[in-house]
Structures are given as C-alpha cells and as structure tokens.
Amino acid sequence: MTSTTAGEDRDEIIEGNDHGSLHAAGFNAHRQLNSETTEDLRNFEVIRANAKNSRVLFAGWSTTVIIDKTRILSFGHQRIEQDLGLTAQELHSAIGDHDGLKACVDEAGSLYIVEGDSSGGYTLKCKSSDASPRIGRLALASNNRIAMTAKQAPNGNLCHLTEFETYESFVRWYEDPSGEDNYPVSHHMLPGRPKDLQSNIASFILLFNDGSVWTWGDSRYQSLGRRVTGDDATPAHQPGVVEDLGGLVIQSIAAGGWQAAAISKDKALYLWGATSPGNEDRIKSLEPGELSLVTIAEGPESEPLDVSNVSIGNNHIAAVADGRLYVAGQNSNGQLGLNRPDAFLADWHKVEQLTDVRQVTCGHASTFALTVEPLHSAEKS
C-alpha cells in the first residue's frame, strides 16, 4: 500500500520543469532512503538530484521504488534496476507489502508483476496478452484484500469494480479469468468514470471524474467517512458515497493507516479516520467521528493556504500548500523531516528546509518530497 498522486498532477510535474530534487526523511533501517547508513533520516536529504521525469512509484516499509526517466530503480530490501523505455513513465497503481513492490499497471491497462531473476535481483514482467483483462486502477489494502477497476472504453460511463480476498487470488484470476475457482469475491457496477483508487489498512477510497468519492471496507475508527447503519445507509462492505463531500468537486484523494483525505477543486483539504489504535496521540485536524475541513495557515490570524497535494503514511500526514510542505503526526523515525526529537506532533508544522515543493508521497514511516526549480530560475542561474 502506498499513496500516489493523481495522473494529471504527475504529468504536470514531469513535463513542466527541468530542474528539481527528490528528498526523503524517515525510517531507513533497510537503507531504503540512504544506502550509506541504516540510521533514520530526521532531516530531508536529497536522494535524487536533477529530478525531471523522476517520481516515487512505491514507498514501502523496506523498499523504495522510483521512476527515473526510462528506468525503474529501487533502494532497500528489494533490488530492481530496469530500463522499460517510455513505458516507465506510464506506470501507476503500484501495490506491495513489507517485502517490497508486487505489481503495477500502465496506461494501456497491462499488468506488471515483480519476479526474481537469476542474479538475485528483481524485474517487472508484463503479464498481459491480447486476451487479458485490462485494468484501470489497482489497490491493495494492508489486510491483503485487493480492489480493481476495469479499464473503460473512451466513451464508457459504467465502472466495473471487482474485489479479491488476497493478492494471490487476484493473480490467479488474472491469469485465468474463467477458471472455476478464480472468481472475485464481489463485483460492483457504479456510474461514472473512475479517476483514482486508493487503500489504507482495511478500506478503499474511489474517486470519480465528476468529483464524487466512494468508500467501503472496514468501518472501524471512522475510516470510511460515512454512515454504514441506519435508514438509507450503504453497508460498509459495499461502495457508498461519502455524503459529507456532496456538492464538492474533489480532485484528488489519499489514504494510509486508518485515515483518508481529499482535496477539492478550490484547494480545500478534508480529512477523516483516526490515528492507530492504542495511540493516545491525535492529529488536531482529525476530529473523532467526523469528516474535518483542515486549515493550514502561516499563523493563527492568517488566511488558509491552498492545498495542492496530500499523502498519508501509517500515522502521519504531509500536505503541499502554496509550494511549501506541512507535516503532522507520528515522528518517531523522523518521518516529518523536522529534525525534532518529538515522537508525535499534533499540530501542522512547516518544513522550513524545503521550498517550491510540487509533490509529496508518504511511505509507512517515511516522507518523500519533490521540489522543482522553475525553468526561468534555472536559466538565470
């Protein structure tokens, strides 16, 4: 499970700038952030300079996988170094677990699965044939349950959503969809065109092009952001609209831990769910049992900032607002990048070290930030 940015945001980052850097902070016991040490990074460090056409594909507990122009590169427990040509820039919906990346999808709907090679490393293998199902979006929850949307025709307006109890059962179905024992555990048909699909520990969140948001899965700790009992309520195991976001046009979503977030067209951030069970600390923006409108501002009397990007880790959250990075939550491994000893920060804090931030990605206990220097600035220097 990992958070990703929406496709149109990805294209803007890739195409619009020449100079930039990819920074990382947090848990580093497997050398997944910095190969020269196993110490956690409590400040943001540059892990990739000249970051045009570079982004984080997967941020796991032990492995980081990035796309660097046409190459797939990994750091940490799982080692991948592979040139996929122009296909590399099309990869999205990366899924994995504590051991590393498992699979991802390209824009044509083809499935790529990670396999071991003869050298002891790993490579991405395209498993699709002309007869294979075409995948739109793919997500794997931490409980190993998997959800998939079918790739739609250009004029299609009906979303086919399927679920599988495990990653292994999904692979068996993909290799033989008509197999007697390979059927998904559920299939839903929803109106509209899906834009993004995310997961956290035990639930899923689906964003449609019309800006509506649907959730389903484990409803504990308010992780669905909607009612699951009572008159007209959709049961937790079925996709249901997050009614409190009704009337808003949501442009992007994120999920992690027992939390989820959404950013509206007018750059407002909404957050729901809870911190990890047993953790008495709570992010102040996260109101128990409620979907919260989050205010990020320079000071108590300042106007709220426009939020353009958000990502959620296991128990921490990071957001880009007016080109600056703001963080809150768990910091026991330095994942907030503030170089502070605090194990948890309930309030939002600006990362003074970083400017011109375009994208943020949170791993389990890590944070990655892509900073970009505009073309005209680079030319002047």
Q: Is position 62 within any domain?
A: yes
Residue 268: per-residue pLDDT: 97
Residue 374: per-residue pLDDT: 59
Q: Is position 150 within any domain?
A: yes
Q: Is position 3 within any domain?
A: no
Residue 15: per-residue pLDDT: 42
Low-confidence ranges of the chain (pLDDT < 50): 3-17, 376-381
Residue 313: per-residue pLDDT: 97
> Any idea what the Cα angle at residue 95 is, between residues 350 and 260, rounded to 5°?
45
Q: Is position 146 within any domain?
A: yes
Residue 279: per-residue pLDDT: 74
Rounded-to-integer distance, Cα 99 and Cα 205, Å:
24
Residue 13: per-residue pLDDT: 41
- Mark residue 323 as left, alpha or beta (left: phi above 0; alpha: psi -120 to 50; beta: remaining): left
Which of 295, 290, 298, 282 is closest to 346 using CA atoms? Answer: 282
What does each C-alpha distance from 157 to 93, 135, 192 come to in angstroms? Answer: 21, 15, 5
Q: Is position 75 within any domain?
A: yes
Residue 1: per-residue pLDDT: 53
Rounded-to-integer distance, Cα 276 and Cα 374, Å:
39
pTM across the whole model:
0.92
Rounded-to-integer distance, Cα 380 and Cα 53, Å:
22
Q: Is position 332 within any domain?
A: yes
Residues in the chain: 381
Q: Is position 338 within any domain?
A: yes
Rounded-to-integer distance, Cα 152 and Cα 137, Å:
10
CATH of the domain at 317: 2.130.10.30
Q: Total structural domains in the chain?
A: 1
Q: Is position 33 within any domain?
A: yes
Domain enclosing residue 243, as ranges: 19-373
